[in-house]
C-alpha cells in the first residue's frame, strides 16, 4: 500500500495520556432448502437510519459527559482465566438428531455459558430474559431450541426482532447453517433492501421472520405479516432497540401477538426501562445473567490527545501506517463525518470502507464483506456497527469522535479483543 505521506515520526507514549488512575469500568433468505430463494442477502433496518428518526430518542439525546479517565485502561489482564465447565454438551441436549448433526458439523461441541444455561429453559417452553455481553453466543442460544420447536411442529412460526439490519442478517446467516437440509425457511425483512422482494418471499411458508421493527411494522400494516399466527418471539439487543426509539413499534407488535406466546428477551443491560418491558412482555420469565464486566479485559484502552493546532487526520494517518494496525474499525458520530473520513483516508492511499445509515443494504454489505475478508484495512462506521456484529480479528478500535454515552463506548470497543484475542482501543480527545 502506497501512501502519499511517508511516516517519519515515531508514535510513542508521549501522545497518550500518562495519567490513568481512573481505569475503565470493569466495564427467505432461505431457499426452499434454506439456501436461498436468491443468493443476495437481504438485511438492514428501517434500520438505524430510520431508528434515529423514529421517536427521535437517539437523535434527540444529548451527549453524556464522560470522564476521560474512563477511556484509559493500560493494564491488560494476562493471568489465565478460570476455565468454564458447562453442565451440558451440545450432543447431550434433547433435540432432534438432524439438528444435532448440523450443530456438530458446524464444529459446535461445548456450549458457551449463555447457551449452557438458556437452552434447557427454552426447550421447556419457558419465557427467558438473558442478560449477556455481546459476542457471548446468544444467537445460537435462542436459535437452537426454536429450530427444534419448528422441527417438532412444522407449522410453528417465529418472529425475531433485532435493532439493526446487519444484526438481523447475521442472525439469518447463522440460522442457515443450523437448518441446512431441514426444509425450514425464513425471510429477512429489513430496510435498505427492496421491499418488493421481501413481499414476494413472504408469500411462501416461512417458519422464521427476522427483521427490524420499522420494516416489520410496515409489512404488518400492509397486511403481509399477520402476527396472530406467531406463537414465539425473540427480542434481541432489546436495550439497543429501546435506545433507537423503537419502543412504540415493539409494543405495537407484541400487542398483536397471542397472549399465550413464548417470548425470549436478550439485552446487554438491565435498566429500569428494560425492566418495565420485561414485566409487560413476558410471563414468569427465567432470568439468566452471564454478564461479567462492561469492558473486555482483553482490550487495552488509551486516549490520543490532539494538541491545539494539530491536524486530527494527520494524527490518525500516523497511527494507521504502523504495521500493528492491521484491521482497524474507526467510529465517528455522524453519517456525513464518517463518509468524509473514509474518502479522506482513501485519498491518502488506505483501503478504507464506510458503513452508515445513508447507505443502502447492498453498499453496507459490500463494505462489511471487504473488511471481514481483509480486502479493506479500515472500516469507518457510525454506532450502527457497534452492536451485535461479530467481525473476527479487529486489531484496533479508534474512537475518532468521542461516543455520546459510556455505554456506546463499551459496545464500540467490544468489536476488538474477541474470542480470547488481545485488542486495543484508542479515543481521540482534544
Domain assignments of the chain as residue spans, ordered by start: 13-26+295-429, 80-289
SS3 readout for the chain: CCCCCCCCCCCCHHHECCCCCCCCCCCCCCCCCCCCCCCCCCCCCCHHHHHCCCCCHHHHCCCCCCCHHHHCECCCCCCCCCCCCCCCCHHHCCCCHHHHHHHHHCCCCCCCHHHHHHHHHHHCCCCEEEECCCCCCHHHHHHHHHHHHHHHCCCCCEEEECCCHHHHHHHHHHHHHHCCCCCCCEEEECCCCCHHHHHHHHCCCCCEEEECHHHHHHHHHCCCCCHHHCCEEEECCHHHHHHCCCHHHHHHHHHHCCCCCEEEEEECCCCHHHHHHHHHHCCCCEEEECCCCCCCCCEEEEEEECCCCCCHHHHHHHHHCCCCCCCEEEECCCHHHHHHHHHHHHHCCCCEEEECCCCCHHHHHHHHHHHHCCCCCEEEECHHHCCCCCCCCCCEEEECCCCCCHHHHHHHHCCCCCCCCCEEEEEEEC
What angle do the packed helices 165-178 and 138-152 form, to 10 degrees? 50
Its pTM stands at: 0.68
CA nearest 174: which of 202, 207, 142?
Answer: 142
pLDDT score, position 276: 92
For 13-26+295-429, CATH number out of 3.90.1300.10, 3.50.50.60, 3.40.50.300, 1.10.10.10 equals: 3.40.50.300
pLDDT score, position 318: 96
Domains 13-26+295-429 and 80-289 equal at CATH topology level = yes
Tell me the pLDDT of the chain (430 aa) as tens digits. Answer: 444 443 333 344 344 543 333 333 333 444 444 443 433 333 333 333 333 333 333 443 456 778 888 888 765 444 444 566 788 899 999 999 999 999 999 988 899 999 999 999 999 999 999 998 767 789 999 999 999 999 999 999 999 999 988 899 999 999 999 999 999 999 999 988 899 999 999 999 999 999 999 999 999 999 999 999 999 999 999 988 988 889 999 999 999 999 899 999 998 888 888 899 999 999 999 999 986 555 566 789 999 999 999 999 999 999 999 999 999 999 999 999 999 999 999 999 999 999 988 888 788 889 989 999 999 999 999 987 656 677 889 999 999 999 988 878 888 888 888 766 788 999 999 8
- The CATH code of the domain at 80-289 is 3.40.50.300
pLDDT score, position 414: 83
Amino acid at each position: 500500500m502506497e501512501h502519499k505521506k511517508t511516516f517519519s515520526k515515531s508514535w510513542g507514549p508521549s501522545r497518550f495520556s500518562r495519567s490513568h488512575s481512573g481505569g475503565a469500568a470493569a466495564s427467505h433468505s432461505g431457499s426452499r432448502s434454506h439456501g436461498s430463494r436468491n443468493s443476495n442477502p437481504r438485511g438492514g433496518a428501517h434500520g438505524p437510519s430510520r431508528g434515529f428518526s423514529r421517536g427521535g430518542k437517539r437523535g434527540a439525546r444529548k451527549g453524556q459527559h464522560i470522564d476521560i479517565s474512563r477511556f484509559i485502561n493500560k493494564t491488560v489482564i494476562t493471568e489465565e482465566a478460570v476455565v468454564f465447565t458447562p453442565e451440558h454438551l451440545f450432543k447431550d441436549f434433547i433435540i432432534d438428531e438432524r439438528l444435532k448433526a448440523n450443530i456438530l458439523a458446524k464444529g459446535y461441541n461445548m456450549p458457551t455459558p449463555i447457551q449452557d444455561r438458556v437452552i434447557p429453559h427454552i426447550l421447556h417452553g419457558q419465557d427467558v430474559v438473558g442478560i449477556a455481553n455481546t459476542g457471548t453466543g446468544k444467537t445460537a442460544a435462542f436459535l437452537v431450541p426454536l429450530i427444534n420447536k419448528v422441527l417438532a411442529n412444522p407449522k410453528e412460526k417465529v418472529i425475531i426482532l433485532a435493532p439493526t439490519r446487519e444484526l438481523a442478517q447475521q442472525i439469518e446467516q447463522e440460522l442457515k447453517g443450523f437448518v441446512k437440509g431441514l426444509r425450514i425457511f425464513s425471510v429477512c425483512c429489513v430496510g435498505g433492501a427492496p421491499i418488493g422482494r421481501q413481499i414476494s418471499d413472504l408469500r411462501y411458508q416461512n417458519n422464521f421472520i427476522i427483521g427490524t421493527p420499522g420494516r416489520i411494522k410496515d409489512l404488518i400494516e400492509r397486511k403481509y405479516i399477520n402476527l396472530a399466527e406467531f406463537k414465539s418471539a425473540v427480542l434481541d439487543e432489546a436495550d439497543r432497540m429501546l435506545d433507537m426509539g423503537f419502543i412504540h413499534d415493539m409494543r405495537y407488535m407484541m400487542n398483536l401477538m397471542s397472549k399465550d406466546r413464548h417470548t425470549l428477551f436478550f439485552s446487554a443491560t438491565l435498566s429500569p426501562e428494560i425492566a418495565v418491558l420485561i414485566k409487560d412482555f413476558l410471563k414468569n420469565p427465567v432470568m439468566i445473567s452471564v454478564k461479567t464486566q462492561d469492558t473486555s479485559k482483553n482490550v487495552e484502552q488509551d486516549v490520543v490527545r490532539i494538541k491545539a493546532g494539530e491536524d486530527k487526520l494527520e494524527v490518525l494517518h500516523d497511527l494507521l501506517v504502523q504495521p500493528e494496525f492491521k484491521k482497524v474499525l474507526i467510529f465517528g458520530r455522524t453519517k456525513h463525518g464518517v463518509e468524509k473520513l473514509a474518502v479522506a483516508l482513501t485519498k491518502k492511499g488506505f483501503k478504507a470502507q464506510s458503513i452508515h445509515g445513508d447507505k443502502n443494504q447492498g453498499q453496507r454489505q459490500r463494505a462489511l464483506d471487504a473488511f471481514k475478508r481483509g480486502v479493506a484495512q479500515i472500516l469507518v462506521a457510525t454506532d450502527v456497527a457497534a452492536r451485535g456484529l461479530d467481525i473476527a480479528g479487529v486489531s484496533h478500535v479508534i474512537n475518532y469522535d468521542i461516543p455520546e454515552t459510556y455505554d456506546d463506548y463499551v459496545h464500540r470497543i467490544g468489536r476488538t479483543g474477541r474470542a480470547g484475542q488481545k485488542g486495543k482501543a484508542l479515543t481521540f480527545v482534544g
